[in-house]
Amino acid sequence: MAGDIQWNRFLAPDAEPSLGEQMGLVARLSVPIILSEISSTVMSYADSAMVGSLGAAATAAVGLVASSTWLFNGMGMCIVTGFSIQIAQLIGAGRLGRVQSVARQALLVSAAVGLLFAAAAALLSGPLPVWLGGGPDVCKDSSRYFLLYGCGLPAVLLRQMGGSMLQCSGDMKTPSALNILMCVLNAAFNAFFIFPTRTVALLGMHPTIFGAGMGVAGAALGTVMSEAVTTVLMLYCVCRRSPVLRLEKGIPWRLERGCMTTTVRLAVPIALERVTTSLAQIAGTRIVSPLGTAAVAANSLAVTAEGFCYMPGYGMAAAATTLVGQSIGAERRDQAKRFAWLSVGLGVGVMTGTGVLMYIAAPWLFSLLTPDAAVQALGAQVLRIEAFAEPLFAASIVAAGALRGAGDTLLPSVMELGSMWGVRIPLAVALVGPLGLHGVWIAMCSELCVRGLLFLLRMYRGRWLELRTISADHSQHS
């Protein structure tokens, strides 16, 4: 076991850590990622407020293609997951030589796929906003935003891969600190690129603040610049600083059949689920679009505001992936089960609390995100609907992380896409007519509850503990 947290003793054959020790370990692994998620959410609020200050049409332009950007990010994370699960289990098994080879292959594949994603985004940027039903006041800015964002996808994928590999090695602090830095850079770059040069009042002085005045396109360019800087730093930490992942001489840069086969087996189910889920989100955007610019803006900002609530869940999911993955690699399935359930329980408890806070603070959050009174009122109402789903949404997020650590990606992917297309979309279509945007969010809330119950059932049955990810190929080259 490697990383800055010493937990070898937890996975020794005779180790029986107490509940307090296990909770402490989950917390120590989760907290850096949760802090990163908090900073990301705060900066998302700042970004949304910057764009929102340009008017509802600007917010709608970004919101219109948001689900499409999630599709590309989600597809990238599928590849990241396929490699990261192997790295976590190989570290748990003590096969550090194989970790070096898998890390190299992960970086090669990430760079190549990122370039393909960028080309695809460039081709889609023109017609996509029209396909999604955007109005004339929205499509031009939306197209430019998506084109610029797409150009940064190689950096996005390499950053995701580097951060995930560090997390699976037990180093949660480095990727979390760099992601926090990225959020700060994003806000700074956005402030420059979005707004024109202007004079502001500050402590009795009136300094001139320089800006490019690019509007909505500036928000995309600011994001790309912050991603690029963070990616360079992340790759430096992976390739030079990590005691487990850093590049050593004598290990070739080549793709190997065993590693790639395992990656495909793990990633394809997630990819299919992400594609169909993102298509469902795009379909949801298409359902909302006819409701008007205010509804599209409120829907987009409500999704941003909800990030405050589920950020602890993703921190605990990452911890669960690492703990379960390394436990499985060390042949401690008893520990894997305990860590999985403990992580889910903590995630549900914390996200229930943040759900309550989100319900109470919804009007205040929207007052920060947009000056448009109609968008504020509608957004706060639909956000409060979503608060009721947070406990079971937490269960699905953290359970998914635990199952991924064990290499269980097929059935969870099927369950998620089934709930999206079997519950959310049909229910949204049925409710949008009589209830408008409220009906769409009632459908979303209902689907997240169904999804949480399905993931808890999968966890309870325990068949995921019987899976094996590390192939014979891995064991032969330890």
User: Is the residue at 194 inside a domain?
Assistant: yes
> What average pLDDT does this structure show over 48-59?
80
Whether residue 29 is predicted with pLDDT greater than 70 in this model: the reply is yes
For β-strands 196-199 and 208-212, DSSP reports them as antiparallel
- pLDDT tens-digit series, residues 132-157: 888 887 899 999 999 999 999 999 99
What's the pLDDT band for 3 if we cut at 50, 70, 90? Answer: very low
The pLDDT of residue 478 is 44
Which amino acid, residue 127?
Answer: P
- Burial pattern 45-56, b for ≥16 Cβ within 10 A else e, equals bbbbbbbbebbb
> How many other C-beta atoms can be found within 10 angstroms of the C-beta atom of residue 6?
10
248: three-class secondary structure by DSSP: coil
CB 80 within 8 A of CB 274: no
The larger pLDDT score, comparing residue 456 to residue 11, is at 456
The pLDDT of residue 40 is 61
Q: What are phi and psi of 210, to 5 degrees?
A: -80, 145
Number of structural domains (the chain) is 1
- Residues 453 and 135: their CA atoms lie apart, in Å, by 38
- pLDDT tens-digit series, residues 164-187: 899 888 888 899 899 889 988 988
The pLDDT of residue 274 is 72
User: Is the residue at 158 inside a domain?
Assistant: yes
- Residues 316 and 413: their CA atoms lie apart, in Å, by 19
Q: Where in the sequence is the domain holding 397, given as residue range(s)? A: 17-469
> What average pLDDT does this structure show over 3-18?
55
User: Is the residue at 170 inside a domain?
Assistant: yes
- The sign one gets for the Cα dihedral 155, 160, 165, 166 is positive
> What average pLDDT does this structure show over 391-412?
90
The pLDDT of residue 462 is 87
The pLDDT of residue 12 is 55
User: Is the residue at 477 inside a domain?
Assistant: no
User: Is the residue at 328 inside a domain?
Assistant: yes
Whether residue 5 is predicted with pLDDT greater than 60 in this model: the reply is no
What's the pLDDT band for 432 if we cut at 50, 70, 90? Answer: very high
For residue 135, CA distances in Å to 16, 132, 208, 370 come to 61, 9, 35, 20
Whether residue 207 is predicted with pLDDT greater than 90 in this model: the reply is no
Mean pLDDT of the chain: 85
What's the pLDDT band for 67 if we cut at 50, 70, 90? Answer: confident
- pLDDT tens-digit series, residues 347-356: 999 999 989 9
Q: What percent of the chain has pLDDT over 90?
A: 37
What's the pLDDT band for 329 if we cut at 50, 70, 90? Answer: confident
CB 392 within 8 A of CB 457: no
Whether residue 473 is predicted with pLDDT greater than 60 in this model: the reply is no
Cβ-based neighbours of 344, under 8 Å, separated by 6 or more:
316, 320, 394, 395, 398, 399, 402, 456, 459
User: Is the residue at 81 inside a domain?
Assistant: yes
- Residues 419 and 136: their CA atoms lie apart, in Å, by 34
Own/partner contacts of 195-204, CB < 8 Å, gap of 24 or more, are 195/50
User: Is the residue at 344 inside a domain?
Assistant: yes
Which amino acid, residue 344?
Answer: V
Which amino acid, residue 353?
Answer: G
CB 142 within 8 A of CB 129: yes
What's the pLDDT band for 476 if we cut at 50, 70, 90? Answer: very low
Which amino acid, residue 348?
Answer: V
- Residues 263 and 247: their CA atoms lie apart, in Å, by 21
Residue 14 tokens read as: 């005779």
User: Is the residue at 123 inside a domain?
Assistant: yes
Residue 136 tokens read as: 């004339």
- pLDDT tens-digit series, residues 371-380: 888 888 999 9
